[in-house]
Structure formats: C-alpha cells, structure tokens
C-alpha cells in the first residue's frame, strides 16, 4: 500500500518541483546583503526588479533550463562591463534552484528596503523565503505613499504621510495617512530589518482620513512636532495646507491630533500673510543659550519658535533668520522673511554679505561646484559632535531631484559649506529626505534616512513597478573615510 501511494504522489511531487521558480539574489559585494531596486532585463526586454531582500523570482516558459543573459542595473550599484560594454550576468535558470549576483556599491549610503507599498517582499514570498514583516505584501491596501513625517510619541513612533495610493481605485487618500510602529528597544523591528506599520483605519476598512474635510482639495501636514503646555499636557501639532492644485493653496493653519477622535483637527486658521510664521518641513528641537526652540527645516533651518504650546500656536512668536546690515551679521527676527540660498548668493555677489559670513553656500567637496539644496533634514549627531544634514539637490547633473548629499555644521543655522554625495538616483526623483535620529546606532555612527522615490519631476516616462511613489530606507556609516573631509 505504501508503494502504491509513493507511486501515486511521485508525479505530483515532480510537477511541483518543476513549477518552483528560479531564485536570483542580487547582493552587495561589500556586505553580502541583498540589494533592493536592482533591475534585471533579458535580451528581449523582460524586466524584473529585486524586492527588499534583493530577490527576483524567475519562472519564464522557454527560458528555463537554458542560458539566459540578464542586463543588471540599479541606482548606486553596478556590475563590471564585459569586452562589449555590457553590464550583466549569464545564468542558467532551473526550477527550484537559486543563484547570486554580486554588485559593486558606488553610493556611500547603503540601500536597505522599501518601507511602504505593495509587494515589499514579493519575490521572497514566491520563493518560499521568510521575511521580517507580518504584512509584507499588502498592508491596509496601501500601494504608494508620499513624504514621510515621524516622531516618537507616547512611547511609540507616530508616522504621517501625504498622498496615499490604494489598491482598489486610482484615487486613494489625499487627506493625510498615519500609522504607529514600535521602537526597536520596545518590541519593534531593528532599523536594519524594517518597520512594521500599524495603519490608522477608518470604519470603512480603509486608511483613515487624518485631516477630514468636506471641502475640495488635498490636505498635507508638515512640521510635525510634540510639545507640552503649561500644565504638562502633551500635544501633537503640525501645519496643514489644503490645496486645489499643487500651486494653489486655499486654506492653511495648525492642526492638533485628537486622541478621542483619532484624527487631526484644525486649531488655528492662518491668513495668506503668514507665509512662514508656522511649522514647516522637518521640525527639530534645539537647546540654546536663549532657551529651547523648534527649528523648522525646509532647505535649511531658517525659521524657529520657542518650544512651548502657546508660542507654537501664535504666529507672532515665530522668528526668521535674516541678514542685518546694522550688525553686519545674521540674526533671528520677526519682521523679515527668512534668507534663502539664492538670495544669500545674490547678496554676496552684490557685496552686501561678505563671502566669509555666508551660511548657505553649499559646494560639492570633490568638484567645488555649487549644490542647490531642495529639501533637507538636520539633526545633532553624537558621533560627529556636529549638526548633520541629509539633503536632496535641486537641478542635479544626473537627476533633477534624485541626488542625496551629506553635510556638517557647527550649529543648525550653519555655516553649511562642503557636501559629499551619498546616494544617486539617475533620471529619477528622491525627495523630502528624513533622517531618523531615534534609529541611530553605535553612538550615532550609523544613521538611517528615507525619502520618496518617484518618477514625478524626473522626466522619466517609466515608473518602477511597486517602488514608485514609495519610501525607501538607506543606512549611512559616518565613519566612512569618504566623509572624513569635514573638520
């Protein structure tokens, strides 16, 4: 009888083995870690993109049990070219087997994983491999998310994004989406492994509209911060803007998270005359001889407010950094708008600001060429004992908004002089970068940052499947000798 069942099941087992895909893992030659966002392309233009563990699940009729050439490409990584100038690998796909392709990393920063979207570990799943996420291929029906804000709040991490794409319709949530996760030291995944997001959901089973409104337009929140009032009660605040178009804001002010309702509600409405007197960009708390302040970083830390609840709500309390002809130096004041990188450059050329007193004239350390900063994240770093900046460049040479730079300064205001490119995304966009200091490791020597990877503004007509319009996490070792140029 046993022989009968063995004979019966043997063809089924063989058929199952033949149906198993061929696994290709692309790994960093330096670290051995799988590399996400590497594209393998066959000679007949079939395209496969590695998942967050660096895997491709390959099962193509006609291409199994035969030699197949794959072109290998990916932002910041490459394989050596052959005598004809091709960069790739010649493989022999077999059902159920696995192989490895090593790539050389040119980026100083190491690409780790995709934080949001569908199919984060798609190919690993098809290959029957484990991954660190409990909802690794579809979480709350989210397929894309834009521009992250995150801060420790009430013992956990509170995450916030702008527009959110969903699986069931082209129009998703355009009223801000939020989630919780646990800190690594409090039961959460290590930053090296990923982020398990617990989305705030609505009664309809979809991600919740975190700034609900019946008015027309999308709602974005920036400058997210936590602050206590005089009674010691904590408040989660940010600046909101409602937009009918990208260039047409029709309403703005401050919102506060309502613990009972589970969403943000407007608490201060502002007129258009208050163009900078509110939270914006990335908020960072700074202790100085003048007290504790929240500095707000768009391209640089150029606006601030005292770090207490009443002042944050009061637009008259905000200060901007501007050049004073009386003192021949920069000062915090409340009458003039903040200096910008371009306006400072113009005043240097006109002789109004001495070049040696400039704060914002960032240059590529290698070439000496100016680097125009688009968006940035600034934080104190214990390892470098300096303020560090992770920033994207506007109008870079190989991408409009995809080049990521690192810089250091003695204060959050600057001077920001030299910069080193740490990641590149040719012909693609990587904007609104965010360094997560709560993930810092080894006394601040290892840091983590993420940004929005999207073909928007790139001029690239082809969006990367699953990765596009999502958040990608990078890791940076600040002891890398290529960053030793800062003094």
DSSP 371-398: --EEEEEEEEETTTTEEEEEEEESS-SS
**E-state strands within 207-334:** 218-228, 234-245, 248-258, 263-270, 282-288, 291-297, 301-306, 319-324, 329-333
CA distances to 360, 364, 375, 461, 477 from 404, in Å: 17, 11, 10, 22, 15
Strand order of the β-sheet with 88-91 is 47-49, 39-42, 68-73, 88-91
Q: In this structure, are strands 429-435 and 446-454 parallel, antiparallel, or unpaired?
A: antiparallel
pLDDT exceeds cutoff 50 at 372: yes
The owner of tokens 């990335």 is: 282
pLDDT in tens, 89-134: 999 999 999 999 999 999 999 999 999 999 999 999 999 999 999 9
Residue by residue, DSSP assigns 326-340 as TTTEEEEESSSPPP-
Residue by residue, DSSP assigns 149-160 as EEEEETTEEEEE
pLDDT exceeds cutoff 60 at 438: yes
Long-range residue pairs from 312-316, CB within 8 A, at least 24 positions apart, any chain: 312/225, 312/227, 312/237, 312/254, 312/279, 313/237, 313/254, 313/267, 313/268, 315/268, 315/270, 315/274, 315/277, 315/278, 316/277
SS3 assignment, position 481: helix
Mean pLDDT of 8-18: 50
Q: What is the separation, in whole angstroms, between the first and last Cα of the chain? A: 79
SS3 assignment, position 208: coil
Query: Which residues have C-beta within 8 Å of that of residue 483, sequence separation ≥ 6?
Result: 108, 406, 420
Q: List the chain domain ranges.
A: 2-107
- Please give the Cα distance from 137 to 454 (Å, whole number): 19
Q: Which of 424, 371, 418, 432 is nearest to 398 (CA)?
A: 424
- Please give the Cα distance from 237 to 226 (Å, whole number): 6
Confidence grade of residue 5 (pLDDT, cut at 50, 70, 90): very low
pLDDT exceeds cutoff 60 at 4: no
pLDDT the model gives residue 18: 55
pLDDT the model gives residue 426: 97
pLDDT exceeds cutoff 70 at 9: no
Q: How distant is the alpha carbon of residue 217 from its chain centre?
A: 24
Across the chain, mean pLDDT equals 95
Query: Which residues have C-beta within 8 Å of that of residue 434, sequence separation ≥ 6?
Result: 148, 149, 150, 282, 377, 390, 449, 450, 451
pLDDT exceeds cutoff 60 at 30: yes
Confidence grade of residue 12 (pLDDT, cut at 50, 70, 90): very low
Strand order of the β-sheet with 110-114 is 110-114, 470-477, 446-454, 429-435
- Please give the Cα distance from 48 to 25 (Å, whole number): 12
Mean pLDDT of 59-72: 97
Domain formed by 2-107, architecture: Sandwich (2.60)
Mean pLDDT of 153-176: 96
């Amino acid at each position: 009888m046993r022989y009968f069942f063995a004979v019966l099941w043997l063809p089924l087992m063989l058929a199952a083995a033949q149906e198993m895909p061929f696994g290709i893992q692309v790994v960093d030659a330096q670290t051995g870690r799988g590399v996400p966002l590497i594209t393998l392309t066959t000679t007949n233009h079939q395209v496969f993109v590695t998942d967050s563990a660096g895997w491709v699940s390959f099962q193509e009729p006609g291409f199994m049990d035969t030699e197949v050439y794959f072109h290998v490409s990916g932002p910041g990584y490459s394989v050596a070219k052959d005598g004809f100038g091709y960069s790739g690998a010649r493989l022999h796909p077999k059902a159920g087997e696995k192989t490895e392709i090593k790539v050389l990393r040119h980026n100083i920063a190491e690409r780790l994983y995709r934080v949001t979207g569908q199919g984060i570990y798609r190919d690993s799943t098809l290959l029957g491999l484990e991954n660190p996420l409990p909802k690794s291929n579809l979480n709350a029906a989210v397929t894309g998310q834009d521009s992250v804000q995150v801060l420790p709040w009430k013992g956990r991490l509170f995450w916030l994004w702008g527009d959110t794409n969903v699986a069931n319709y082209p129009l998703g949530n355009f009223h801000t989406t939020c989630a919780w996760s646990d800190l690594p030291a409090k039961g959460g995944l290590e930053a090296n492994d990923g982020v398990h997001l617990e989305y705030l959901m609505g009664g309809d089973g979809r991600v919740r509209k975190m700034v609900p409104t019946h008015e027309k337009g999308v709602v974005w929140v920036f400058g997210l911060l936590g602050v206590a009032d005089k009674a010691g009660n904590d408040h989660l605040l940010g600046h909101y803007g409602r937009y009918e178009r990208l260039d047409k804001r029709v309403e703005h002010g401050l919102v506060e998270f309502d613990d009972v309702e589970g969403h943000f509600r407007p608490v201060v409405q502002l007129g258009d005359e208050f163009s900078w007197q509110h939270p914006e960009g990335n908020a960072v708390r700074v202790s100085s001889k003048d007290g504790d302040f929240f500095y707000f970083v768009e391209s640089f830390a150029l606006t601030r407010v005292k770090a207490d609840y009443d002042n944050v709500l009061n637009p008259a309390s905000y200060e901007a950094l501007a050049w004073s002809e009386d003192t021949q130096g920069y000062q915090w004041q409340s009458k003039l708008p903040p200096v910008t990188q371009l306006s400072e450059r113009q005043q240097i050329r006109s002789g109004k600001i001495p070049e040696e007193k400039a704060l914002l004239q960032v240059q590529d350390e290698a070439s000496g060429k100016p680097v125009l900063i688009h968006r940035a994240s600034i934080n104190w770093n214990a390892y470098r004992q300096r303020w560090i900046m992770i920033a994207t460049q506007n109008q870079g040479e190989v991408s409009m908004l995809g080049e990521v730079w690192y810089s250091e300064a003695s204060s959050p205001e600057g001077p920001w002089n030299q910069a080193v490119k740490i990641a590149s995304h040719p012909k693609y966009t990587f904007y609104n970068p965010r360094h997560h200091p709560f993930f810092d490791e080894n006394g601040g020597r290892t840091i983590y940052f993420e940004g929005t990877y999207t073909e928007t503004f790139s001029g690239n007509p082809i969006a990367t499947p699953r990765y596009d319009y999502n958040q990608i996490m990078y890791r940076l070792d600040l002891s890398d000798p290529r960053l030793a140029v800062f003094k």
